[in-house]
Amino acid sequence: MRILVVEDEKKVSSFIKRGLEEERYEVDTAFNGEEGLKMALEKGYDLVILDVMLPKKDGLSVVRDLRERRNAIPVLMLTAKDSVEDIVAGLDSGSDDYLTKPFAFAELLARVRALVRRSEQDRGAEIRFADLRLDPVTHKVWRKDKEIDLTAKEYALLEYFMRNPNQVLTRTMIAEHVWDYTFDSFTNIIDVYVNYLRKKIDREADKKLIHTVRGVGYILKEEE
């Protein structure tokens, strides 16, 4: 378990680091928001403990940036005040839990354990179809253990297919679910996106998974 602590107050930071290391967590520290964001994006942490008041970039902006980049890493926010507004702002920005300073280490540890447990359960919710694997938390996709790089729309399209396998999906259904509205005169945008997706998913594979149902739409299925 690797934890990133982003806190500019050296005393608080080393107090948290020491305590967590005694509990056998691996801990890295960052002392401003920019550094924290960079480390959180580049290294695979299991949890970030993030102070709200930070130099260079405040904690709320760090969480917002992480979530905008579809990074789902659990975040425990440290707030100085226990005002309802601060707490709401923290949770709205995309953090998972908060703790008000000053706090007892036992309470921090309890929150850390709960968040790590919760994210482990989420991670189990992978979707599989044939040799395709999709992780709805990180938005990563693999075919036969080879990671496939998809754009946001291609990902949304594939997730829709994988949640509805072996069913004919009409262009209207796809438009409504993936684009949130219906295209009247130019449903060919769906064909274009399905073809992008096919190139990435099926082109190099011996078994094709996305099939055209002539005049109707598409189906995700294994060939008989």
Contact 25, 49 (CB under 8 A): no
Looking at the Cβ atoms of 8 and 191, the one nearer to Ca ion is 8
Contact 101, 53 (CB under 8 A): no
The region of 35-43, 47-55, 87-95, 135-143 touching Ca ion under the rule CB under 5 A is 47-55
Closest residue by beta carbon to Ca ion: 53
Give residues 48-67 in contact with Ca ion (rule: CB under 5 A). 51, 53
> For Ca ion, how many residues bind (rule: CB under 5 A)?
3
The 3-state DSSP class for residue 97 equals strand
Nearest to 50 by CA among 38, 41, 37: 37
Work out whether 35 is an interface residue with Ca ion (CB under 5 A): no
Work out whether 159 is an interface residue with Ca ion (CB under 5 A): no
CA distances from 14 to 6, 18, 133, 187 (A): 11, 6, 40, 57
Looking at the Cβ atoms of 77 and 162, the one nearer to Ca ion is 77
CB of 69 to Ca ion, least distance (A): 23
Residue 81 CB contacts under 8 Å (≥ 6 apart), including other chains: 100
CB of 96 to Ca ion, least distance (A): 19
Own/partner contacts of 147-150, CB < 8 Å, gap of 24 or more, are 148/200, 148/201, 149/200, 150/197, 150/200
Residue 11 to residue 15: CA distance in whole angstroms: 6
Work out whether 8 is an interface residue with Ca ion (CB under 5 A): yes
CB of 20 to Ca ion, least distance (A): 18
CB of 130 to Ca ion, least distance (A): 49
CB of 137 to Ca ion, least distance (A): 29
Residue 203 to residue 89: CA distance in whole angstroms: 45
Positions touching Ca ion (CB under 5 A) are 8, 51, 53
